[in-house]
A and B are shown apart, each in its own frame.
Chain A
Amino acid sequence: MTAPATATPLAVPAGTPFRPLGPLVYIGAGIVAFIALAAVVSFFWTPFDLLYLDYAHRSAGPGTAGHWLGTDRIGRDIATRLMVGARTTLYVGIVAVGIAAIAGTPIGIVAGMVRPGWSEVIMRANDVLLAFPALLLALILAAKYGGSVTTAMVAIGVASLPGFVRVIRSGTIQVMSTDYVLAARVAGRRAPGIAARHVLPNVSGLIIVQASSAYAIAILAEAGLSFLGLGAPASVPSWGRMLAEAQSLLTIAPLTALWPGLAIALAVLGFNLLGDGLRDRLDPQLLGR
């Protein structure tokens, strides 16, 4: 059986060695699981009470008086604040990526299924949105409505949207050129049916991959925003704000700045490794680098 010239096979071409998940994916998954676990555990247990101030041991080093990672300048336990801060990070990320995925997937599928002219219009609009990175959108929203977790989530979500639209569109175009979609068309299935029955299941892997990469960017953006004081309010612990507070104490207690910084870098690394590994596995054909 010969495929039409335009058809690009979705499956991995014959001869491509099967690529097992590399060790890096498991490292990434492990990091993500560890951070998620820390966030969940923080609801039930933390080394110290969140509001407890240890005046006797301010800006203390790691291990002092039972503080695993030491204390900050007013005696708050850093490990505790990191655990609770993980909640903020994960929560903002989930909502932001959720906004981008839920809005971006249908737009991407439509852009991949409509006639090239309309597809071009959607992609140009997408490119305009691409000129507004998360931080810029967040500053715009903060100027208009005041900085808050909500404006941060919306800004990061909208900024992640173009990435989803692009990836899902290119996936959809590949699916639309397969024989089974041709067969479904011949059988009289209409576009919405094809989108739901054939396109969506086949691009779902891409959604997961893109979500993982977008999550990494969302964490960086959230940290940047709370570093500038435009994210979570001062009463809610967040890694970015902890880092900003530590900046003024760099000469006295440099380690205070190191821990939240490491937490951010570790979280981003985890999601990046996970996304990259899944990308290699889920579909080498569908995605560029």
Chain B
Amino acid sequence: MIWELLRRCLIFVVSALAASLLIFWVLDSGCAPAQSALGVNGTPESVRALCTQMGLNRPFPVQYLDWLRGAARGDFGISYVSGVAIGPQVTDQLAVTFWLVLGGIVVALLIAGPLGMLSALRNGRPSGYLLSGLSQIGVAVPAFLAAILLVLVFAVRLDWLPANGYVVPAADPVQFLRHMVLPWLSLGFVQGAVLTRYVRSAVLDELGQDYLRTARAKGLTPFRALARHGLRNAAIPVLTVIGVQLVTILVGAVIIERIFTIPGIGKGLADAAERRDLLTVQGIVFTLVMIALLISFLVDVAYQLIDPRLRTAARR
């Protein structure tokens, strides 16, 4: 058990280093920042001089380690394009996106839990086909289409909710909620449809297990047997999927944040990419990928700790 955990830790550290190297390498631009700082007036000599002064032509490993040392502390340097310190900016944006993604996942779970269970229990019956069909259609709807339709109905036609914007929760909780409802629903509908399919197959797997047959034989209805015995087991693969999909959800927030003009990390990334601000992109991508790797590592470890089958195997 201890060895298994240590092995996982090692895999996590190596993966994180590999990912950071990849990010730094792909987004490394050599002397380009010096070139653009000097503009059209830069002679090759002055560009080279500034490049050296900025430390951009040091050996690659030195630059990488220097960047990594800062990145590990959340210091991604100062953007050459906007002149803003990237680290604090990323932290602020991340806080905004945190609320968006958290609410989106809650909505997704509220949709996927009951629907997935129902569609598994009704498997093979017309209502089961109908539910599977609905989730198929939901998977096919891009989040931005859902967002646009929601805005059309609830903001434009009914005028119940604001069409875009963001309010800091501490400043005005009510306005914060009003602004977040449509983004949450947009993100949650689409992720909910994806999750419904996983919940359905996880529950179907459990329905085929002997212990549920026993529970049914003891006279429990399918629903009660599932609620009492199956859900706990079905939850494990579903939570794993959420962990794995978290980065997709975070990145999917790029589009939602753009539509609703929410100043989160996704909007920050899209804006930085558009301005071709490589240093900022580097910092944001590093943050997102590290979160993704960390979450999947934690899910992995939790899985090891929770699954009773693995526990007994270790005790033996």
Contact = CB atoms under 8 A, between A and B. Distances in A.
Given A124-B15, A127-B15, A272-B140, A133 B255 contact: no
Find the residue from B11, B139, B148, B277 having the highest chain A CB count within 10 A: B148
Interface size for chain A: under 10, 10 to 19, 20 to 34, or 35 or more residues? 35 or more
Interface stretch (B83-91, B92-100, B287-295): B287-295
Interface in B284-316: 285, 288-289, 292-293, 296
A266 interface: yes
Contacts of B26: 140, 144
Given A143-B278, A220-B142, A250 B14 contact: no
Give the secondary structure class of B's interface: helix
Given A131-B292, A133-B251, A268-B140, A140 B27 contact: yes
B248 interface: yes
Nearest to A251: B156
Contacts of A136: 247, 251, 269, 285, 288-289
Kindly name the residue among A140, A265, A266 whose own CB sees the greatest number of chain B CB atoms within 10 A. Answer: A140
Contact of A261 (B145, B244, B248, B281): B145
A287 B211 CA distance: 25
Contact of A228 (B201, B270, B285): B270
Contacts of A273: 136
B142 A143 contact: no
Most B-side CB within 10 Å, residue of A136, A216, A230: A136
Interface string B21-56: 011001101000000000000000000000000000
A143 B142 CA distance: 23
A230 B273 contact: yes
A251 B120 CA distance: 40
Contacts of A268: 139-142
Contacts of A265: 137, 140-142, 145
25 contacts: A127-B15, A128-B22, A128-B293, A130-B244, A132-B289, A139-B254, A139-B269, A139-B281, A140-B26, A140-B281, A142-B273, A144-B27, A144-B276, A220-B142, A223-B142, A227-B144, A228-B270, A250-B152, A250-B156, A251-B156, A261-B141, A264-B145, A265-B140, A269-B137, A272-B139
Interface of A: 124-125, 127-128, 130-133, 135-136, 139-140, 142-144, 146-147, 216, 220, 223-224, 227-230, 243, 246-247, 250-251, 254, 257, 261, 264-266, 268-269, 272-273, 276, 289
The 6 closest A-B pairs by CB, nearest first: A268-B140, A269-B140, A261-B145, A143-B273, A289-B201, A143-B281
Given A135-B255, A247-B148, 9 more contacts: A133-B248, A133-B251, A136-B285, A224-B255, A243-B148, A257-B148, A261-B142, A261-B149, A272-B136
Interface of B: 11, 14-15, 18-19, 22-23, 26-27, 29, 136-137, 139-142, 144-145, 148-149, 151-152, 156, 197, 201, 244, 247-248, 251-252, 254-255, 258-259, 269-270, 272-274, 276-278, 281, 285, 288-289, 292-293, 296
